[in-house]
Structure 1
């Protein structure tokens, strides 16, 4: 059984902008099923594609099954079956023995930047990088599947 334990955070924009980053990867991500209890998504990069099935979140945990698929098939699934999609640049940042994934969204979600960290347990301790701000793990509006339906540009300013 696959299980994902992930926490999400907003970033401190000034610190993030001045931080030396590795090259990011452009991700195209679309949802074949986007339901409160489950999602099925396809994600592509320039060279690869994956299909991912996720269950309902309980705390910071949920069931997750991810499989690499041929890029051509991933693009066809996005083009023919995706109900909604988004694009973002993902940066993988090592920090204190963990990898932080920082997503800089574009299109209707431009201006939103979210940092995620995957953990071994919900109780695991970890160090926050200087550019990490408040936690938004339990705010559904930050889920990628929600961002495709209710994009950042339509939000009322915080």
Structure 2
């Protein structure tokens, strides 16, 4: 039995990933705005790669990839307030995600990653300037990916004492 293929093969194409990241640049942004935009969307691409790895890897690797998914999402969330300052945008905080905590962890992760991938593939996101449009929603989606990855990790843990 072979492992299922990746749902988003474009995630692993460096040239296409770069195009998606650069598509978020604002035409009126200066050098600092372009750098901030590229940093944010490059990190979003990394979060999506780890989420995809978590959803498609063999079970014995799932704990490690789920951990990396959560850590990568948390790392960007931790840096977002400073990146907003650099871009001259108010940091609104994360808007709570829309997925149900009662859903199975892998479904939560897939749903959250799908929303984040849709945002990455929507270049109009950066037209108003770096992080100008719905940074709270982006942060909420990153938070949900991280929370779902932790749920995947917890779901696979052996909770028996022995």
Could you say which TM-score interval applies, normalised by the shorter chain? Answer: under 0.3
How does the TM-score come out when normalised to structure 2?
0.25
**Bigger Rg over Cα:** 2
Higher strand share: 1
Higher helix share: 2
